[in-house]
Amino acid sequence: MNRILRLSLLSAALLGAALSAQTMAAHASEAQTRAKPARKPRVVIYNRDSKDPNVGWHWENGMRTCTHDCENPEAPGSGYTCTYHADGWRECVK
């Protein structure tokens, strides 16, 4: 009688462990298939004049002038809108 009780308890424990492992595997695969939400790209508009008169675009004697780094779309006051994407590339348009 004692042997039958031990076998029953051992069988129940093994069945519980097997079902638990199966459930955990199902939840793990479900978590892996869920896609992360895409991050929205960061957009910066360079429409403010440069505070430093030696760098970027600003008004001087009623004229729009640039003194340094004028070809850079990220120069202050350039008027470009730059979109910075999550995978590291940027797109700048005027």
In this predicted structure, the answer to whether residue 64 has a pLDDT above a threshold of 80 is: yes
pLDDT, position 23: 67
CA 88 vs CA 42, 43, 71, 80: distances in Å: 11, 13, 21, 18
Q: Where are the domains of the chain?
A: 1-34, 42-93
pLDDT tens-digit series, residues 2-60: 777 776 776 767 666 666 767 666 666 565 667 677 778 899 999 888 888 888 898 88
pLDDT, position 81: 95
